[in-house]
C-alpha cells in the first residue's frame, strides 16, 4: 500500500479506468453502475457497490473481478464488491460523457429518459451514429447483448447497435 492516505476521489479515479467489458469505449463510471465507495480501516479496505444494467447481466462477474484487481493492484489490502439490485439500474444513470463515447464508438446511445413512455404504436426514432440520419429501421430487437437492439441506416446503409432505454 502507498504511504499516502487513500481517498474516495482516488478510488473513483481508479474505477474510471475500468472499461465495460461489453462496450470498451465506456467506463463502469460512465455507465453509472458504480453506486457507492466506502473506505474502511483508513483505506486498507474498500467496499464498492455496483448495480447491474439488468438482473443476471453476465458482465457483472468480470466487472467485479476488474474492480478487485484494480484496487488490489494499487495496494488496497481488502476489496469487497457488493451487488445492489434496488433501485434497478436505468439508462438515466449513463453520463452524458458516456453517451458521447458510445456514439463515437458506433453505438446509438439511449435518446430519451427511461421514464418517458412512448405512445402505444409510436416507434422510437433512432439516429445513425455514423451519418446522423434519422432514416433508420430496427433489424432485430436484440443485438450482441440483450440491452442493445440492431438497426440499419437507410441512408448510409450501415448497421449499428442501439443501447435500449430501461
Beta carbons of 73 and 63 less than 8 angstroms apart:
no
pLDDT computed for residue 90 by the predictor: 92
pLDDT digits (tens, 9 = 90+) for 107-116: 999 976 544 5
Cis peptide upstream of residue 87 (ω within 30 degrees of 0): yes
pLDDT digits (tens, 9 = 90+) for 95-149: 999 999 999 999 999 976 544 555 544 567 899 999 999 999 999 988 887 788 9
Identify whether 65 is part of a domain: yes
| pLDDT mean across residues, the chain | 89
User: How many C-beta atoms surround the C-beta of residue 133 within 10 A?
Assistant: 14
pLDDT computed for residue 45 by the predictor: 95
Structural domain range at position 48: 8-83
Identify whether 93 is part of a domain: no
pLDDT computed for residue 1 by the predictor: 44
**pLDDT exceeds cutoff 90 at 36:** yes
Identify whether 88 is part of a domain: no
Cα dihedral 68/72/78/83 (nearest 10):
-10
**pLDDT exceeds cutoff 50 at 38:** yes
- Give 42's pLDDT tier (boundaries 50, 70, 90): confident
pLDDT computed for residue 113 by the predictor: 55
Average pLDDT on 31-50 reads 94
Identify whether 95 is part of a domain: no
Residue 165, classed as helix, strand or coil, is coil
> Distance (Å, rounded) from C-alpha 30 to C-alpha 37?
15
pLDDT computed for residue 161 by the predictor: 94
Residues 17 and 67 in one domain: yes
Q: Strands, DSSP E only, in the chain? A: 34-40, 45-50, 78-83, 107-108, 136-140, 148-153, 159-163
Residues 14 and 51 in one domain: yes
DSSP-assigned beta bridge partners for residue 148: 163
Residues 60 and 28 in one domain: yes
Handedness of CA 70, 72, 76, 78 (dihedral sign): positive
Residues 149 and 112 in one domain: yes
Q: What are phi and psi of 127, to 5 degrees?
A: -85, 135
Joined together, the cell numbers standing for residue 150 give 440492431
Number of domains in the chain: 2
Amino acid at each position: 500500500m502507498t504511504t499516502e492516505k487513500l481517498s474516495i476521489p482516488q478510488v473513483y479515479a481508479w474505477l474510471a479506468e475500468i472499461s465495460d467489458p461489453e462496450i470498451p469505449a465506456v467506463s463502469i463510471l460512465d455507465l453509472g453502475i458504480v453506486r457507492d465507495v466506502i473506505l474502511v480501516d483508513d483505506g486498507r479496505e474498500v467496499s464498492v457497490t455496483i448495480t447491474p444494467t439488468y438482473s443476471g447481466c453476465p458482465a457483472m462477474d468480470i466487472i467485479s473481478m476488474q474492480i478487485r484487481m484494480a484496487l488490489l493492484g494499487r495496494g488496497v489490502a481488502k476489496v469487497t464488491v457488493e451487488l445492489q439490485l434496488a433501485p434497478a439500474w436505468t439508462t438515466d444513470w449513463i453520463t452524458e460523457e458516456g453517451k458521447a463515447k458510445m456514439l463515437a464508438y458506433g453505438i446509438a446511445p439511449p435518446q430519451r429518459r427511461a421514464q418517458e413512455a412512448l405512445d402505444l404504436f409510436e416507434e422510437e426514432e433512432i439516429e445513425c451514429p455514423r451519418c446522423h440520419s434519422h432514416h433508420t429501421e430496427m433489424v432485430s430487437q436484440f443485438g450482441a447483448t440483450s440491452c442493445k437492439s440492431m438497426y440499419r441506416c437507410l441512408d448510409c446503409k450501415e448497421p449499428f447497435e442501439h443501447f435500449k432505454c430501461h
